[in-house]
Structure 1
Amino acid sequence: MPLESSRRRFLQHCLSVSTAALLPPFALADLASPTQVTVAQGVLQGQQQADGTRSWKGVPFARPPVGKLRFKAPQPLQAWYAPLKAEAYGPWAVQQPYPPVLQDKPKGEEDCLYLNVWAPASPAVHVRPVLVWLHGGAFVLGSGGDPRFDGSDYARRGDLIFVTVNYRMGGFGYLGVHAEPGAANLGLQDQVAALRWVRDNISAFGGDPHNVTVMGESAGAMSIGCLLGVPAAKGLFARAIIQSGGARPLFQADEAAQVLHQVLQAGGVDAAQLQQMPVAELNNLFIKVAEQSNTPLLGGEAYHPAVDGSLLPVHPLEALHPVPTLIGHCRDESGLFVAGKAVNLLEGLPARVRAKVGEATWAQVEQTYQQSTGAEGDWQRELFSDIFVGVPALRLADRLAAAGAPVWAYRFDYANAGPYGPCHGSDIPYTFGLGQPGKGRGSFTAAEQRLSEQMRDSFIAFAHTGSPQTAALPTWPRHEPQALAYLRFDTPVSVASDYLGAARRALWETVPIAAL
């Protein structure tokens, strides 16, 4: 969106020609209704949903990162003096294309730092737990305003407050254009800013700022894996639900500098010119670099967090905040990327690990997977899945448990979850009760509906009590590095042990954490 339009939207947040503009925010509290709340910056006017729940959409949590604020840390909001209408989602962050199976074309705007809140139909005398959802999308696409992440069901079914968040992505969020501390992790900084907003304001919606569970899938889950090692995020959430993620992908500081150099070289520009380029032209430059990302440096993932020595001082696994955590992944993570012909990632990620571990170790890796893969399997797909999520998830679970955190592990195994089986992202419709992909709500079979309810109820229970155990599930043991028990979300649900296998675990124990 043009800069002028972005400024105009922000001014609409702050100004009004109504007489209410003459009143300070606290004076507007007398106007309160079940859909009107007062936050630190002023009054928000939400709406009642068809199902009875209440929502506040398109709520700004930081100033628009446009103009001079491009590539800068999120800045605090100014107050507004008339009720701010919060009835429509804010703009998505600037998007980059990915395989057609995921997205047809890019969209979005730089003015993107908005969140959305859902609450049960009426205020309660008790405070409610809070679930904050961080969306996925390979750190280059997606939005908390995606209708698939509507929080009404969780608010109604779970008697809790549900929040979804936007954050900057691609080169806008993870390039490190400036020398300021944390500049290579602006997307993570946005997430921290949103969590601070939740801490400071969620009580106005009936939420408990001391009982916040952060929950995410794919890049959202990987972000949480990083936030568990971000000092600025400590205390902003009490629990974590990690779906298809771990403490990866991460550049080292020198690698992040090399990525910036590649972008500048590809565009024939300097950092100051990046600051001034029109958004579409700049995004096309970021896309150009990403299209050539199947290299050992980029690993098919051109833009993502970095161990920068400031916001993320060291690798998260070396300095975890040990909060209760529920962590899982899908049985065949690779299926989506194979179907979508995501060649850069399928080739680049193994190439990156190979370069990190060296040829001798990589030969052992290939041999181990060839020997441990069953006749019906594909050892290269299984290797990709384990590098992408399986091993990082296990490492994170092990480290959290060793630090004293209660941890529960699961795997999504339902073979008919979608056209590509139990692959990356196939659990999202079950997480939100959506029905089969492309078929809408109500398209679950009875068994699938029950599976979805079992998943949602376990997440809700975890947000309320710190344990995912429900009466509908078999006894779900905690994750222990020796026992390695996990819950299989399938029809029926069951308990199993050691999804990786002894030979593969022994192999990866010899590989440094930074290699993945």
Structure 2
Amino acid sequence: MRRRPAWRLAGLGVAAALLPVDMTGSTATAAASTSPAQDTTASAPVVRTTAGAVRGTATGDGLRRFQGIPFAAPPVDALRWRPPQPVPSWRGVRDATRPGPVCVQPDAPEIPRGLPQSEDCLTVNVTTPSRPPAHGRPRPVLVWVPGGGFVTGAGSLDDPARPARAGDMVVVTLNYRLGAFGFFAHPELGTEGNFGLQDQLAALRWVRANIARFGGDPDLVTLGGVSAGAMSTCTLMAAPAARGLFRQAIVQSGSCLTEFPAGAFGPGSGPVNGWQPLTAVQRTGRALGDRLACADLACLRRLPARRLVAHQAEFSLVAYGTELVPRHPAEVFAAGRQTPVPLLQGTTRDEHIEFALSVYPDGLTSTQYRDLLRTAFGPDTARRVERRYPVRDFPSPTAAAERVFSDSSWTCPSWRAARGHARTAPTYTYLFNDPAAVPLSGRPLPENVRPAVAHGADVPYIFDTPGTPPLTLEQQRLADRIVGYWARFVRTGEPNGPNATSWPRTTGHGASYALDLTPGPRGPRPTNLDVSHRCGFWRR
């Protein structure tokens, strides 16, 4: 996705203030301890990985945590813009009681003050229940990719205690290179690119080689993510090199069909697609070198990180035509050539609301709404869209506009992707629909667009996230139901179970049914997206 607007977005924001930052590219992960590997207590569990032993913590909430474990060599100096290399082994026991630094990124509301940043950031965090696994079998594994528009984010920001404990699973969160460090391309690099996605692939390979040592089943791995993490997940579903590394996929608030018409991100903005030809990204990389007075890649590699992070948002697109992503993922899905794994996919009800508020902070008038539709769809289609989305049906013209883009660019493409995938593997579609859900910013939405359910508002129902208010009792009940569905899916590829509303499987034909994740006595319940989000209209 493009540069995020200033309004707080769930994993897609650029604003606020941070921190003392290590922009030197120097190693900032915790130093290895010299304590012997056999020196272990209940409060300091030790696990030996392929690179060396790590000491974590056993917490009072029934979990063991191992944080900041490197899965690749520090991508600094000559390794900047190189594929991730094997992590050097260490002697003794490495401290894994706290997360490593987050990858270099601009200021963002979702990054708490004081977190260190570094280019040496390729680490994973492993959370697992302390008790022995049920039936003596290894636990299923969820590998979670954070969002952030490929520009911000970190695996340590989503606390997986809830799904790990309630779902009896091992949860792995990860960091990957971002923006100018992770999605840079240049003619000198040839077909290399998407280094952030390559990092994700390296983390999956680390899980394959090591997760059994933490009680996880390497043959029962689910790859999932939200926003840019969702787009990463579906891209890896389309990447031949990722086959065999995960058995199920969860795609929240994003899909490989996500794209936006002109005007969706403000006056004068053109169409936006999250995937671009490698040659286009290479041109951006060469242009950056010209602006920074660097005639070649060697010069760019010598620049301090702070010089590059100012250009982070210029590299927020995934390149196709690379070794890892040879074709646009949408083409792969259209041809049915993606990895045929069970898929759980969905969106919130009003994905575009905070984007609309950020680019139209003073709101739209009815005339501006009509003009925006013409910009986005052309005059003939705009009239048809306005008949389907008349201003009188919404609290304001701004609310009408956000629903147009939420339906046309988020929910219905996500459903179309799910429907296409359903021809290859079991697929389940959801719509998160709690109008009382507070955006991750903690700021209630303005009255003129409510009720609305913002992008990423479902994340606190699965993970504990910083800065969000506690869930009400009714929301906690909904969260328990959601975690139950997700946990059953991670374990079996099937979210349904006893004492839970039946979740209809998505089919490749017929009505567009999804599970409406609504709180209270009426929900969750199936809903027809052709009716609630006019997906039949957008399909035509």
Same fold at TM > 0.5? yes
Deviations 1:310-357 (A, max 9, x none): 2111122313111100001011011222344489xx9xxxxxxx9xxx
Residue aligned with 2:422, SS: helix
Map 1:1-150 to 2 at 5 A.
6-7=26-27, 9=29, 12-13=31-32, 18=34, 20=36, 28=37, 30-31=38-39, 35-97=45-107, 108-124=117-133, 125-146=136-157, 149-150=158-159
* Matching of residue 426 in structure 1 with residue 457 in structure 2: yes
Which residue does 1:449 correspond to in 2?
A: 476
Gap change, CA 1:32 and 1:87, over 3 Å in 2: same
Runs of 5+ consecutive residues of structure 1 not aligned to the other structure: 21-27, 291-301, 347-353, 510-516
Using the TM superposition, name which of 412-421 and 375-384 deviates more: 375-384
Asked if the contact 2:356–2:401 (Cα under 8 Å) also holds between the matched residues in 1, the reply is no
Asked if the contact 1:114–1:166 (Cα under 8 Å) also holds between the matched residues in 2, the reply is yes
Which residue does 1:270 correspond to in 2?
A: 295
Map 1:109-508 to 2 at 5 A.
109-124=118-133, 125-146=136-157, 149-177=158-186, 179-180=188-189, 183-247=192-256, 248=258, 249-272=274-297, 273-286=299-312, 290=314, 302-317=315-330, 318=332, 319-341=337-359, 362-374=378-390, 375-377=392-394, 378-402=399-423, 404-418=424-438, 419-420=444-445, 421-432=452-463, 438-439=468-469, 443-481=470-508, 482-491=510-519, 492-499=523-530, 505=536, 507-508=538-539
Asked if the contact 2:529–2:535 (Cα under 8 Å) also holds between the matched residues in 1, the reply is no
Runs of 5+ consecutive residues of structure 2 not aligned to the other structure: 1-20, 259-273, 365-371, 439-443, 446-451
Asked if the contact 1:369–1:379 (Cα under 8 Å) also holds between the matched residues in 2, the reply is no
Residue aligned with 1:422, SS: coil
Task: Tell me the TM-score normalised to structure 2 length.
Answer: 0.79
How far has the Cα of 1:181 moved from its partner? 5.8
Gap change, CA 1:68 and 1:502, over 3 Å in 2: closer
Q: CA RMSD in A?
A: 3.0
Structure 1: how far apart are the matches of 2:53 and 2:113? 37
Kindly indicate which of the two structures has a greater share of residues assigned to helix: 1
Asked if the contact 1:53–1:120 (Cα under 8 Å) also holds between the matched residues in 2, the reply is yes
How far has the Cα of 1:78 moved from its partner? 1.7
Gap change, CA 1:285 and 1:484, over 3 Å in 2: closer
Structure 2: how far apart are the matches of 1:334 and 1:105? 30
Structure 1: how far apart are the matches of 2:383 and 2:115? 40
Asked if the contact 1:184–1:256 (Cα under 8 Å) also holds between the matched residues in 2, the reply is no
Which residue does 1:293 correspond to in 2?
A: none
Gap change, CA 1:226 and 1:105, over 3 Å in 2: farther
Structure 2: how far apart are the matches of 1:252 and 1:4? 31
Gap change, CA 1:364 and 1:103, over 3 Å in 2: farther
Gap change, CA 1:182 and 1:234, over 3 Å in 2: farther
Structure with the greater relative contact order (CA < 8 A, sep ≥ 6): 1 or 2? 2
Instruction: Give the percent of matched residue pairs that are identical in Structure 1 and Structure 2.
Output: 33
Asked if the contact 1:307–1:315 (Cα under 8 Å) also holds between the matched residues in 2, the reply is yes
Asked if the contact 2:151–2:312 (Cα under 8 Å) also holds between the matched residues in 1, the reply is no
- Matched pairs, number: 464
Deviations 1:415-453 (A, max 9, x none): 110123311011111122669x632xxx32221111111
Residue aligned with 1:241, SS: strand
Residue aligned with 2:327, SS: coil
How far has the Cα of 1:179 moved from its partner? 4.0
Structure 1: how far apart are the matches of 2:498 and 2:468? 31
Asked if the contact 1:177–1:271 (Cα under 8 Å) also holds between the matched residues in 2, the reply is no
Asked if the contact 1:368–1:503 (Cα under 8 Å) also holds between the matched residues in 2, the reply is no
